[in-house]
């Protein structure tokens, strides 16, 4: 159990460094200050290559539906059988799909006293 805990700590340290320190000098200074052993040099490149340490390459869930029409467009344009109207129809369908899948919370109106007309005062 101690080895597992130590390994998890090493990975979290490498991940934290990969996300915060961007220069080689800063990395070298961190290793010297913390007194990291040779494990850091072996584990850091592996952890840095993981998707969790590269947020700029992350794919947002909302873009996954938008990428489908582009792949079909590239296939149809490579065959040369598509027209401009087909592409426009595909874009319209993709927009409708995104709108139908989008969740928009609806606020309920507060109960108004309907017996009193608005704007009339005694």
In the predicted structure, residue 42 carries a pLDDT above the cut 70: yes
Mean pLDDT value of segment 37-48: 77
Q: What are the extents of the domains in the chain?
A: 1-51
Residue pair 17/44 in contact by the 8 Å Cβ criterion: yes
pLDDT at 69: 47
Q: What are phi and psi of 52, to 5 degrees?
A: -70, -20
pLDDT in tens, 69-118: 444 444 444 444 444 444 455 555 555 555 566 666 676 776 665 565 56
Which has more confidence, 100 or 42?
Answer: 42
pLDDT of residue 61: 60
């Amino acid at each position: 159990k101690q080895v597992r805990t130590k390994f998890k700590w090493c990975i979290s340290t490498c991940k934290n460094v990969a996300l915060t320190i961007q220069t080689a000098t800063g990395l070298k200074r961190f290793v010297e200050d913390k007194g990291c052993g040779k494990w850091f040099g072996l584990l850091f490149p592996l952890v840095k290559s993981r998707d969790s340490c590269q947020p700029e390459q992350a794919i947002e869930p909302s873009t996954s539906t938008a990428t489908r029409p582009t792949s079909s467009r590239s296939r149809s344009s490579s065959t040369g059988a598509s027209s401009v109207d087909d592409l426009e129809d595909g874009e319209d369908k993709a927009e409708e799909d995104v709108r139908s899948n989008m969740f928009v919370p609806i606020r309920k109106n507060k109960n108004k006293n309907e017996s009193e007309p608005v704007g009339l005062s005694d």
